[in-house]
Amino acid sequence: DHIVEEDVSFVGPIQESMTSPGFRGVPLNYQERRIYHWHAELDRRIGMDRVPVHLRVPSLLDAWVERE
């Protein structure tokens, strides 16, 4: 219970900091990146034109991919 209480005590300050001009997003951890990649790959294989806009995975990583 102590750990949960400690974690909950940080929620307010964290939420507040997310509205600051300096906040640029939260990096995905390893497992979240794998899930994101899986959904992006599904969209790619299905075909972006066949996936409804509201269900598409946003292309967040394109700016970081080097193409020849």
CA distance 36 to 25: 15
**68: containing domain:** 27-68
CA distance 47 to 41: 10
pLDDT tens, the chain, 68 aa long: 888 999 999 999 999 999 999 988 888 788 988 998 899 999 999 999 999 999 999 887 777 777 77
Question: Considering the domain boundaries, does residue 53 fall inside one?
Answer: yes
Whether pTM exceeds 0.75 = no
Question: Considering the domain boundaries, does residue 36 fall inside one?
Answer: yes
Give me the number of domains the chain comprises.
1
CA distance 57 to 68: 24
Question: Considering the domain boundaries, does residue 5 fall inside one?
Answer: no
Question: Considering the domain boundaries, does residue 37 fall inside one?
Answer: yes
Question: Considering the domain boundaries, does residue 2 fall inside one?
Answer: no
Question: Considering the domain boundaries, does residue 51 fall inside one?
Answer: yes
